A and B are shown apart, each in its own frame.
Chain A
Amino acid sequence: SQTIHQWPATLVQPVGSPLSLECTVEGTSNPNLYWYRQAAGRGLQLLFYSVGIGQISSEVPQNLSASRPQDRQFILSSKKLLLSDSGFYLCAWKDYRDYGTGELFFGEGSRLTVL
């Protein structure tokens, strides 16, 4: 069966510090991968998605970046965090064969507080 894990679960970072959130998927190959952010009391905002190694699409301009160094690994990074980067970050995957129809499976989420 397929599983998805992301870490860390919780982190508190000062403004201007770097960020690295990691997500891995097991039990499937060539998944479509996604990073979402959810600000307090808000909906899910799609940040990045990837359909293959090294292929990253950015949805919104920001000081965040994403990388996919391996097929089932997706990393969200920042060189310098802003207060507005605080939120609940969710990694998700979908079967690449389920174009537009597949269920999205979410990781446990990472809660980031920037002080």
Chain B
Amino acid sequence: GQNIDQPTEMTATEGAIVQINCTYQTSGFNGLFWYQQHAGEAPTFLSYNVLDGLEEKGRFSSFLSRSKGYSYLLLKELQMKDSASYLCAPSGYKLSFGAGTTVTVRA
């Protein structure tokens, strides 16, 4: 089964950095996804980590430690449009999602 834990809410100011942590316990692990979901919309893909370490993609980076069952998503130079829910999703033959972390960016 899957057990995914991430904070419920985070607030930060424009231009700041936010780190969203995710811990998981899963069977048949094949990598970890992060998705972004704006209110009322479908989730969209942000990143995928299959090996340990940091993957950087523009203002967003994602880190994975498979031995610790731990990942984080790092959002840099926050913009107002980054206000959304961020979903941690460890992958097997099916994808299970954490409850999501709602990030609110304030001016």
Which chain A residues have a beta carbon within 8 Å of chain B's beta carbons? 32, 34, 36, 42-44, 46, 49, 51, 59, 88, 90, 94, 99-101, 103-109, 111
CB-based A-B contact count at 8 angstroms:
55
Q: What are the 4 A-B residue pairs with the smallest beta carbon separation, nearest first?
A: A100-B30, A43-B99, A106-B42, A44-B97
Complex Cα distance, B85 from A43, in Å, reads 9
A100: chain B residues at CB < 8 Å are 28, 30-31, 91-93
CB pairs A–B below 8 angstroms (19 shown)? A42-B99, A43-B87, A43-B98, A46-B95, A46-B96, A51-B93, A88-B40, A90-B43, A99-B30, A100-B28, A100-B30, A100-B91, A100-B93, A103-B33, A103-B48, A106-B44, A109-B41, A109-B42, A111-B40
The answer to whether A99 and B93 touch across the interface, beta carbons within 8 angstroms, is yes
At the interface, is chain A mostly helix, strand, loop or mixed? strand
B residues 2-60 near A (Cβ < 8 Å) are 28, 30-31, 33, 40-45, 48, 50
Please, which residue of chain A has its CB at the minimum distance from the CB of B31? A101
| Centre residue among B43, B44, B95, B96 by max chain A CB count within 10 A | B95
Best-surrounded residue of A32, A34, A94, A101 (most CB of chain B within 10 A)? A101
Question: Which residues on the A side are within 8 Å of B44 (C-beta)?
Answer: 106
Is B68 located at the chain interface by the 8 A CB criterion?
A: no
Give Cα A51–Cα B44 distance, bound, in whole angstroms.
Answer: 22
B81 in the interface, Cβ–Cβ < 8 Å?
Answer: no
Q: Is the CB of B99 within 8 A of A46?
A: no
Residues of A within 8 A of B45 (CB): 103-105
